[in-house]
Chains A and B, each alone.
Chain A
Amino acid sequence: MHGRPRKSATPVDENASALKAAKIRSLQSQFLQNHHNNIYTKEAQEINAKLIESNPEFMTAWNYRKLAFEHNLSNQSEVDKEDADHIKLIIDEELRVVENALRKNFKSYGAWHHRKWVISKGNSSTERELRLLNLFQKQDTRNFHAWNYRRFIAGLKDISDEKELQFTTDMINDNFSNYSAWHNRSVLLSHLLEKKVEGYFPKEIFLKEEYELVRNAVFTDPDDQSGWFYHLWLLDQTIKVDMPNLVSSWPPNGSEITNTTFPIVLFFNEPVEGVNLQTVSVQVEDDIFKNIAWSPLSANKFKCGQAWLTHLTIPFGETNSSKIFQVKIRSEYSQGIISSNGVPCSQHWSIAFRVSVCHDFQPEGQSLRRILMTDENFSTVDINSNVMDLFKSYFELASDYEQPTSSKWKSEMIASEIDQYRELLSWAECKIGKLTLARLLMANDAIGTPVAPNTTHVEEVLKLYSELMELDPTHYQYYKDEYSLVFLKQVASSKESLMKYCRQYKESTSSNITGPMCLRLNSLSLSRIGSFERLLWVQSLDLSHNQLPSIEGLEALQLLSCLNLSHNKIGSFMALDPLRFLKSLRVLNISYNEIGAHTVDTRRYLCSSPLSHTLDYDKKFEEFAAGDEKVVNFWEAYSVFGGLDIMQLDVVGNVAADERFKLFLVKLLPALKWLDGEEVH
C-alpha cells in the first residue's frame, strides 16, 4: 500500500471512470430520493449498499444506513424480537457492506466509523473482527485506521495489553518501519504503567528493553524515522519528573526586597492548576492574608499555567520608621495543585523573604527622559556596587527549591544511551545520531545534579546543533530553536554566566524604570527564548537584533519594565500577546519587525488570536473605535496594549506603523510620552 508509484490513467481507464461516474450518479439520485422520503425497503437498502461499495466516502450514505439499521431493528415483528438470529442477520448484513467498502478503500473514515458504530450495538462476534483485522493489518501494516480499530476491538474484547504489546513486537519484527506499531507500543506501555501491571511497573523495568529494541531499529537504519519518535517518547518517560513541583519564585526564598507593592510569581516545572487560597497561604509577619487572588500567567482559558501571579501590598503607614516585614508563602494543601494530566503536587514547599520598607523612595519620575538601549548608554557592571549584592541574593538563593532527587537508574540509563549514540556517530555521520545525542546530553545535564543547573555538556550540544543546521538545512529552524534554548539555558545557569550579559546604565536617573541593570541578549541570533524560571528578577531586557518570531513565556517576567525587541521577526501584534500580562512595562521597542508584513500570518498558531476565543470581546473597544471604522483593524494592538501604561514606544520600521496607526496609539496609550523618538504632547 505504501511506496507504490501511481500509474497515469490510460484512455481506457478514463472511459471506465466516466462510466463508473455515470453509474454512481444514477445510484446517488435514487438513493437520495429514498433518503428524503425515509424509504427503508430492502430494495432501497440494496441501492444504498451498491452506492457505498462504489463510493465508500459518501457520508450521507452511511448516515442513511444507520437510520435504516435502527429502522430494521425496531420494525421487526414481536416474534422476531425474540429471535436473536434475526438480529444477528441484520448485523451481519451491515458488517458485510462495511467489509466490501473497506475492500474498496482501506482508508475510508466513514466505513471504519460505521463498523465501530455497528459493533458498539453489541450482539456480534469480536472474534471475527479480530480475524478481519489480522488480515487487513497484514496487507497494509501501517494503516492507522486499522490500528485505531484494533485498539477499539481490543478494548471491547478486553484483550490484555500484554498480548497487544506482543502483536506490536511481531509487527515491528516484520518491518520496523511502522510508525503505527511504535505508536501503539507507547500507548500500551503507558496503560500498563498506569495500571501498575507487574513487569511494567516501575517503568525502569521495561525502559531498558525498549531502549534496546529501538536502538536496533535506529542503528540498523539511521535514516528510518519511525523509531526516532519512539526514542523521543522513551527519553521523555525517562527524564519526566512524575509530579508537578515548584522550581522558582519571585521574590526568591531568603531574599530582601524594598517595594511595598510587588508581584509574587510561583514558577512550576509544568503547567498546573489549583493555585488558590486553600492550596497556598501568604503570611506577612503573623497575618495570613485572605484577600489574595492567584491567576495563571497564561493566555489560554484552561485555568492552567506554569507560572502563577498575585500582587501583594504590605500594609504600613502606622509608623514612619523603616520596618522589615517577614513574608512567608507556603503550600498548605499541595494535593490541590494538579498538573495538566491530573497528577497532584506531593511535595510541600515554603518561601520566606523580607520586605524592607523605606520611606525615602521617590515616586516614578513623571518627566521621563527617553531611554535608549544602545551600547554607548551601558557600562559593565561595577562589581563593587550594591547592585551586585542584590544580584547575588537572587542567585545564590535561587537554587534553594528542593527538587526530588532523581533515581540512579535514570542517570545510568541515559549514560549508557549516550555511550551507544557516541559509538553510532563514530562510524556513521547521521542526523538522528547527532540530534538524539544532543537530547540525551541535555537530559543528562537535567537529571545529573538536582541542586544547580548542570551545564557540563552544553558546549557539545551547541556544537551538535550547529552541525545539524548545516547537515540538514530542511529542518534548520528547528535546530536553531533548540540551539537558542540550550544557549539561554547556559546563560541563565549561573551568576557568572549571566554577569557576562548584564550591563549597567550609565545614567542612573531613570533607574526606577530600568532597574539597576539590563540583561542584554541582543545580536545572538536567537529564534526562541526560554529559561524564564531563572530570569524572574529581570527588569530591563534587550532582545534586539535576534530572529524571534514570538515571545511566548515572557509573561513570567513580572518585573519587566524596559523591553527592546527591535530588529526581530515579530509578525503580528498577537505575537506580542504575552505583553498583556506585563503590567510594569513602561518602555517598549518593537521597531523594525515584520508586523503587518504578512497578510496571512502563518505563525498565528504560535499565539492566541481573536478567533481562538481566548480573549473576551471587549465592549470598550467599540466605544473607543466609534467614529473611525478603520480602527477596527487595530483590534490586535488594542487587545495587547490596551491595559498597559506604556510611556515610551518605538514602532517604526513595521509595515503596520503608518501615521494613522500612530495617532491610534497616542489615543490608546494616555501615558505615552515618547513615540518613535518624538515627544508626545
Chain B
Amino acid sequence: MAETESYPPIDPTNFDLIVVGTGLPESIIAAAASTAGKSVLHLDLNPHYGSHYSSLTLQDLTSFLNAQSPNPNINPHQSDTDTTAIDVITRPLYSDIEISSYDDSVVESSRKFNLDLAGPRVLFCADLAVDLLLKSTANQYVEFKNIDASYVCDGNGNLMNVPDSKSAVFKDKTLKYSEKNQLNSLFKLVQGHLEAVKSVETGVDDEKVISEEDLDSPFVMFLDKMKLPPKIKSIILYAIAMVDYDQDAGESCKDVLRTRDGIDRLALYHSSVGRFPNALGALIYPIYGQGELPQAFCRRAAVKGCLYVLRMPVISVLLHKDSGNYKGVKLVSGQEITSNKLVMDPSFTVTSSPSESPQDVSKFFDAGTISGKLARGICITKSSLKPDASSCLVIYPPRSLYPDQATSIRVLQLGSSLAVCPSGMFVFYISVVCDNALEGKKSLHAAIDSLFSAHTSGTTDSCSTDQIDSTEVKPTLLWSALYVQDLFEGLMGPVVMTPTPDGNLNYNDLLHTTSKLFQQLYPDDEFFPETSNTDSSDKLEDDSEVGIES
C-alpha cells in the first residue's frame, strides 16, 4: 500500500534503548536514558504523543477509546536464520465504553477540546512530578494553573469546602470553632512530627515524635485517638490524604492506610500549599491538559539526542534464535532495529498463537495480569459547579452517595482558562477504583446524578434562565464518555513493561515505579542527576518555580 511506503527508514539501526509508546513513564525513561548518555529510539504507533496519558480532541478521544481492537495480523516476514520474531499486538485497555451526546454544539467544537485519557489528575505542588520536572528542567515546556477550590461531600449530599490549610480553616464558615481547633491541631501535630523526624535524622532529639506503635496502627485509629469527629476524619482521610477505600470498614477494608503513610500524605499536601508563592492552593494543573507532561519529557529527551518516530507501529520483537535473548524490534515498515534494551507500554502483548514455544514467549512478555479496574468518566457542561470556582476538585468519600459505595469517587472540574475546552464550557473528570465494570459504572452514574441535572432536550435553555438566581442550579450534562480501564503495574523483564495510568490523583506511585524501572535498566546511572553547577542548584533552592499563571 501507498501508506506503508511512506514509513521513513530509520538510521542508525542500532540503539542502546528502544522505547515503544510515549506515555509518561516511557517518556521519562527515554529522557532519563538520553540524559545518561544512552542512544535512544522512541517510537509510538499513534500520530500523537502521550499514549494512554495523552490529551486528545473530543473526536480523537472517542476513536482512541474504540480503536483498541487487535491489529490485523501482518504476515510474518521471513527473518534471518539466527533470529526469531514474535508478533506483538495491542490489547484493549478500555471496555464498557459508553458515549452519550445531548448537545451537538459539543461535538461540533471537538477540536477545541484537550481531553485527558487518564483523568482526573492533578499535580501537588510538592509532589514527585513537580520535583522531577524541576530536576530534569522539563518544567520549561509546561505551564500550570491553580485548582481554585476543593470540596468534599458530607453525608447529606452537600458539598463543603475542604479546609486544607491554616488559612482555609480560619476562613471556613461552616466549621465549628472546636472543629477548627481540632483540624489545625492535627496539622500542627503533623508538622511537629516531621520536624522531629528531621531533627532525629540530624541527631537532635525531640519528644514530639508520634510513637512507633501509633505510626504502625491504621491512620483511622490514630484519628479516633485524637478524638476527631467523623466529619473531620472524613475530610482528612478522603479529601486530603486521598484514600480510596472505606477506612471505617474494618477487616473488610482492602487497603488500610497506616498512620505513617497518612502523615506522609498530609505532609505532602501541606508542603504543597505555599510551596510556590504564585500558587494559591496545593493543586496545580498543566495548561492544555495532562498530555503536556509526556510531551515535555519527550522534548527533554530530544534535546539530549533521543530519536523520535511517531505513527510507527512495532510488529514484532526479535530474539536471538540460539540464546533466546532479546535482539531488536521489527517495524511495520519492515525495517529491523536492534538495541540492548527494550521498554514497551503495557498495552502491547504477543499474539496468542505464536509458532514458537510458549515458554520463550512468556519469558519475554510476562506482562502480568490485570491488577484492578478503574471506571473513568468525562463529562461536559456549560456551567460551573460553583459560581466562584472555574476549576475545582470534588471528593465523594465512601458511602457518601449510596450505602454500599466502597471507594471514594474523585471529580475534577476544569474550565476553559486551562485551555482544555472551548470558553463557556467545563470538563469534568471522574474516576473510581472498582472490582468490576458494573460496580464502577454504578459509582460513576451516582456521581453524575449528584453533580448534574439530566439534559431535557430543547427546554434546557429556558429552564436555566428561569433558575439563574437560585444558587444551587446544577450544571446540565451535555456530553459524556464513560469507560472502564484495566490496570497493569509495570514489570521488569528482558523487556520492560511500563505501568498503565493508575487510579490516584497524582503521579507519585507511577513515578516511583518508573524510577525503579530505570534503576533496574541502568543500575550504574543516576535517574536525572543533579546539575553539577552549584549556582543553578542554589537558584533552584531559592526561587525554583514551575510556571504558574495566576
The one of A172, A177, A420 that contacts B177, using a Cβ cutoff of 8 Å: A420
Most A CB contacts (10 A, CB to CB) among B170, B178, B185 go to B170
Known: A173-B167, A174-B167, A176-B167. A220 touches B181 (CB 8 A): yes
User: When the two chains form their complex, are residues B277 and A138 in contact, meaning their CB atoms are under 8 A apart?
Assistant: yes
B188 at the interface (CB under 8 A from A): yes
User: When the two chains form their complex, are residues B180 and A216 in contact, meaning their CB atoms are under 8 A apart?
Assistant: yes
The one of A216, A222, A428 that contacts B170, using a Cβ cutoff of 8 Å: A216
- Closest Cβ neighbor of A174 among chain B residues: B167
B166 at the interface (CB under 8 A from A): yes
Known: A420-B177, A424-B177. A221 touches B184 (CB 8 A): yes
Within 8 Å CB of A173, what residues of B? 167, 170-171
Nearest CB of chain A from residue B112's CB, rounded to whole Å: 34
User: What is the bound-complex CA distance between A403 and B181, given in angstroms?
Assistant: 40
User: When the two chains form their complex, are residues B167 and A219 in contact, meaning their CB atoms are under 8 A apart?
Assistant: no
- Closest Cβ neighbor of A427 among chain B residues: B178
Within 8 Å CB of A138, what residues of B? 277
Known: A138-B277, A139-B277. A222 touches B181 (CB 8 A): yes
Most B CB contacts (10 A, CB to CB) among A138, A173, A174, A216 go to A216
User: When the two chains form their complex, are residues B166 and A175 in contact, meaning their CB atoms are under 8 A apart?
Assistant: yes
The one of A139, A174, A177, A427 that contacts B181, using a Cβ cutoff of 8 Å: A427
Proximity string of chain B (179-192) to chain A, C-beta cutoff 8 Å, 1 when within and 0 when not? 01111110010000
The one of A176, A217, A221, A424 that contacts B188, using a Cβ cutoff of 8 Å: A221
User: When the two chains form their complex, are residues A217 and B170 in contact, meaning their CB atoms are under 8 A apart?
Assistant: yes
B169 at the interface (CB under 8 A from A): yes
User: What is the bound-complex CA distance between A32 and B171, given in angstroms?
Assistant: 54
User: When the two chains form their complex, are residues B277 and A220 in contact, meaning their CB atoms are under 8 A apart?
Assistant: no
User: What is the bound-complex CA distance between A176 and B170, given in angstroms?
Assistant: 8
Within 8 Å CB of B277, what residues of A? 138-139
Proximity string of chain A (202-239) to chain B, C-beta cutoff 8 Å, 1 when within and 0 when not? 00000000000001110111110000000000000000
User: When the two chains form their complex, are residues B166 and A221 in contact, meaning their CB atoms are under 8 A apart?
Assistant: yes
User: When the two chains form their complex, are residues B178 and A220 in contact, meaning their CB atoms are under 8 A apart?
Assistant: no
The one of A139, A172, A219 that contacts B180, using a Cβ cutoff of 8 Å: A219
Nearest CB of chain B from residue A179's CB, rounded to whole Å: 15
Nearest CB of chain A from residue B111's CB, rounded to whole Å: 38
Within 8 Å CB of B177, what residues of A? 215-216, 219, 420, 423-424
- Closest Cβ neighbor of A224 among chain B residues: B166
Within 8 Å CB of B171, what residues of A? 173, 216
- Closest Cβ neighbor of A10 among chain B residues: B534
User: What is the bound-complex CA distance between A176 and B181, given in angstroms?
Assistant: 14
User: When the two chains form their complex, are residues A219 and B181 in contact, meaning their CB atoms are under 8 A apart?
Assistant: yes
Within 8 Å CB of A216, what residues of B? 170-171, 177, 180
- Closest Cβ neighbor of A221 among chain B residues: B184
Q: Is chain A's interface secondary structure helix, strand, loop, or mixed overall? A: helix
User: What is the bound-complex CA distance between A176 and B171, given in angstroms?
Assistant: 9
Nearest CB of chain B from residue A582's CB, rounded to whole Å: 51
- Closest Cβ neighbor of A173 among chain B residues: B171
- Closest Cβ neighbor of B183 among chain A residues: A220
User: Which residues from 449 to 463 on chain B have a C-beta closer than 8 Å to any C-beta of chain A?
Assistant: none
- Closest Cβ neighbor of A175 among chain B residues: B167
Proximity string of chain A (46-80) to chain B, C-beta cutoff 8 Å, 1 when within and 0 when not? 00000000000000000000000000000000000
User: What is the bound-complex CA distance between A374 and B185, given in angstroms?
Assistant: 54
Nearest CB of chain A from residue B29's CB, rounded to whole Å: 35
User: What is the bound-complex CA distance between A139 and B278, given in angstroms?
Assistant: 10
Within 8 Å CB of A423, what residues of B? 177-178
Nearest CB of chain B from residue A102's CB, rounded to whole Å: 17
- Closest Cβ neighbor of A430 among chain B residues: B181
Within 8 Å CB of B167, what residues of A? 173-176
User: What is the bound-complex CA distance between A645 and B166, given in angstroms?
Assistant: 64
- Closest Cβ neighbor of B169 among chain A residues: A220
- Closest Cβ neighbor of A215 among chain B residues: B177
- Closest Cβ neighbor of B172 among chain A residues: A216
Proximity string of chain B (149-185) to chain A, C-beta cutoff 8 Å, 1 when within and 0 when not? 0000000000000000011011100000110111111
Within 8 Å CB of A223, what residues of B? 188
- Closest Cβ neighbor of B182 among chain A residues: A427
- Closest Cβ neighbor of B280 among chain A residues: A174
User: What is the bound-complex CA distance between A216 and B184, given in angstroms?
Assistant: 11
Nearest CB of chain A from residue B228's CB, rounded to whole Å: 12
Within 8 Å CB of B180, what residues of A? 216, 219-220
Nearest CB of chain A from residue B170's CB, rounded to whole Å: 5
User: Which residues from 156 to 185 on chain A have a C-beta closer than 8 Å to any C-beta of chain B?
Assistant: 172-177
Nearest CB of chain B from residue A5's CB, rounded to whole Å: 12
Within 8 Å CB of A220, what residues of B? 166, 169-170, 180-181, 183-184
User: What is the bound-complex CA distance between A222 and B178, given in angstroms?
Assistant: 11
User: Which residues from 407 to 427 on chain A have a C-beta closer than 8 Å to any C-beta of chain B?
Assistant: 420, 423-424, 427
Proximity string of chain A (420-442) to chain B, C-beta cutoff 8 Å, 1 when within and 0 when not? 10011001100000000000000
User: Which residues from 180 to 212 on chain B have a C-beta closer than 8 Å to any C-beta of chain A?
Assistant: 180-185, 188
User: What is the bound-complex CA distance between A424 and B178, given in angstroms?
Assistant: 7
Within 8 Å CB of B169, what residues of A? 220
Within 8 Å CB of B170, what residues of A? 172-173, 176, 216-217, 220
- Closest Cβ neighbor of A138 among chain B residues: B277
User: What is the bound-complex CA distance between A506 and B438, given in angstroms?
Assistant: 100
Within 8 Å CB of A215, what residues of B? 177
User: What is the bound-complex CA distance between A3 and B324, given in angstroms?
Assistant: 61
User: What is the bound-complex CA distance between A511 and B288, given in angstroms?
Assistant: 96
User: What is the bound-complex CA distance between A427 and B228, given in angstroms?
Assistant: 12
User: Which residues from 248 to 269 on chain A have a C-beta closer than 8 Å to any C-beta of chain B?
Assistant: none
User: Which residues from 125 to 145 on chain A have a C-beta closer than 8 Å to any C-beta of chain B?
Assistant: 138-139
- Closest Cβ neighbor of B173 among chain A residues: A216
Within 8 Å CB of A427, what residues of B? 178, 181-182
User: What is the bound-complex CA distance between A217 and B181, given in angstroms?
Assistant: 10
User: What is the bound-complex CA distance between A220 and B181, given in angstroms?
Assistant: 5
Proximity string of chain B (105-136) to chain A, C-beta cutoff 8 Å, 1 when within and 0 when not? 00000000000000000000000000000000
User: Which residues from 510 to 549 on chain A have a C-beta closer than 8 Å to any C-beta of chain B?
Assistant: none
Within 8 Å CB of B184, what residues of A? 220-221
User: What is the bound-complex CA distance between A219 and B180, given in angstroms?
Assistant: 7
Nearest CB of chain A from residue B174's CB, rounded to whole Å: 12
User: What is the bound-complex CA distance between A556 and B471, given in angstroms?
Assistant: 65
User: What is the bound-complex CA distance between A469 and B181, given in angstroms?
Assistant: 24
User: What is the bound-complex CA distance between A138 and B279, given in angstroms?
Assistant: 12
- Closest Cβ neighbor of A213 among chain B residues: B170
Within 8 Å CB of B166, what residues of A? 175-177, 220-221
Proximity string of chain A (10-35) to chain B, C-beta cutoff 8 Å, 1 when within and 0 when not? 00000000000000000000000000
- Closest Cβ neighbor of A227 among chain B residues: B170
Nearest CB of chain A from residue B33's CB, rounded to whole Å: 34
User: What is the bound-complex CA distance between A452 and B166, given in angstroms?
Assistant: 44
User: What is the bound-complex CA distance between A172 and B167, given in angstroms?
Assistant: 8
Within 8 Å CB of A420, what residues of B? 177
Q: Ordered nearest first, which 7 A-B pairs have the shortest CB separation?
A: A219-B177, A220-B180, A220-B184, A220-B170, A220-B169, A176-B170, A221-B184
Q: Report 18 cross-chain contacts, Cβ distance below 8 Å, ordered by A residue.
A: A138-B277, A139-B277, A172-B170, A173-B167, A173-B170, A215-B177, A217-B170, A219-B177, A220-B181, A220-B183, A220-B184, A221-B166, A221-B184, A420-B177, A423-B178, A424-B181, A427-B181, A428-B185
* A-B contact sample (6 more), CB < 8 A, given A219-B181, A428-B185: A173-B167, A177-B166, A216-B171, A220-B183, A223-B188, A427-B178
